[in-house]
Chains A and B, each alone.
Chain A
């Protein structure tokens, strides 16, 4: 999703230190390096992906975000990015706490389970939704903790996490989310992008 990359790039200030958690094969890291002067590291669980990243000269370490974020000191990055990976963790809450500990701010993007297609799928078909963004069946999905944009809003409020920017991506269109349009954005957006920090 190139649009998502662009939005993330715009949220990041020049000359900052960035960590991409679950960086995959390094596409976002490369995109950021091409468009911003930043110092960026990656953490990735799959050996194949890590080898690909290193082949591209990216500073990526093999590791599991659930355990290996603990090695980074407090506030060691300006931004910690978690792009469409939050739903795959066993202990989601702990991972978010870690992101906000090691990063001054975190950028979290989530595939929106509140999208009307999801709702309709479950309502009409009565089976777990399978879409382009979330192509797995319930029995083989790596996504353990799906949430909607509204869920994430509520979570941040409960946990005293400050949302600096919240953006919705619907196809290629970007818009801001606030409390007044949360209901509709939660219904029509594919992806939520949040810039957060501890209060």
Chain B
């Protein structure tokens, strides 16, 4: 990876107590921003990224030279319109794009922290990211949003900081990681840990990384992000090059080659230990349990307006789990909108060009910002 110098970060001085009991302080939190913060500072949107994301939500990621992960949603004229809004995205702690994580170099040993990094939670991630509000001197965000693990952070954020966001838009997520979610994450972790290069997490960067394990983890996870129908339509049983199967174990089918490609691309930009830590944080996420089995209690102190979105073909974070959040909010009379968008693109729908989703989101943000901040009655 090059261009690491293009990563902006703040150093969090405050001591933060983690859920595991450990304390951290003086740690880096990497961020990126898009658009301009207005004078009233009422147009800021904090975007939380998902498992494999980073702070580069829009434009070209200067480290990977690839498009930002939420290019369809963040940018000029897009739903999170950077001509109008100030969009902030930070790399989660435990991540590998400049925030404090397992690939941070320990100043004493001059080596990566690796698995000496503490096990973190979604709550820890959100508490760390909260520091970015102080840095920009933002009293209240217009919106917090994110899909998948980003959505979980939205829920945790509103619960932790009930008066810090006017609007919350959790997308394709859950309030409690299911057994199936944990199972798929465990599969990925086992693939990494089975790679002989993993070495209990104390491998040295750019030098015999557990790439094979991480690639398999990514391949398995990638399947869960798509729908059966989507896969069938895109790949079917199409063969890669030849007219017929080759009676071997090379990639005969296009789907095989596609997954191998996804795996190989991923290892270039992601750290295997980060994958372990972040999936663990997702598995530990159970907001309902945090509030003694009553999810409504997580939100009862908040006046935040919620807009919850799910997708018809998302079987990883299905509509029923998103609807549970809606039900919890309705039980306390919260201001909540909810729609299930029709899409064949599976869980990944929130990252892709799904016009019904993007149009609704764009209009919702525009109208809601107008109603809350621009109309002066």
Contact = CB atoms under 8 A, between A and B. Distances in A.
Interface of A: 17, 39, 41, 47, 50-51, 53-63, 71-73, 76
What are the 5 A-B residue pairs with the smallest beta carbon separation, nearest first?
A55-B363, A57-B367, A61-B338, A71-B327, A51-B360
B359 A55 contact: yes
Given A54-B364, A57-B367, A71-B331, A47 B336 contact: no
Question: Which of A53, A60, A71: most chain B Cβ within 10 A?
Answer: A71
Interface in B245-301: none
8 contacts: A47-B341, A51-B341, A53-B337, A54-B307, A57-B367, A61-B326, A71-B326, A71-B330
Given A57-B368, A59-B305, A72-B330, A47 B363 contact: no
A57 B341 contact: no
Given A56-B367, A61-B330, A51 B356 contact: yes
A76 B333 contact: yes
Interface residues of B, number: 24
Interface of B: 305, 307, 326-327, 330-331, 333, 335-342, 356, 359-360, 363-364, 367-368, 370-371
Given A50-B339, A62-B340, A55 B367 contact: yes
B336 A59 contact: yes
A59 B367 contact: no
A55 B337 contact: no
A54 B167 CA distance: 13
Contacts of A63: 338
A57 B331 CA distance: 21
A48 to B, nearest CB: 9
B339 A51 contact: yes
Contacts of B367: 55-57
A60 B337 contact: yes
Contact of A54 (B330, B331, B342, B360): B360
Contacts of B333: 17, 73, 76
B331 A73 contact: yes
A48 B81 CA distance: 23
Contacts of B356: 47, 51
Contacts of B331: 71-73
B342 A59 contact: no
B18 to A, nearest CB: 35
A57 B338 CA distance: 12
B363 A56 contact: yes
Question: Which of A39, A41, A47, A54: most chain B Cβ within 10 A?
Answer: A54
Given A47-B342, A54-B360, 10 more contacts: A17-B333, A54-B337, A55-B363, A55-B364, A56-B367, A58-B337, A59-B336, A61-B336, A71-B331, A76-B330
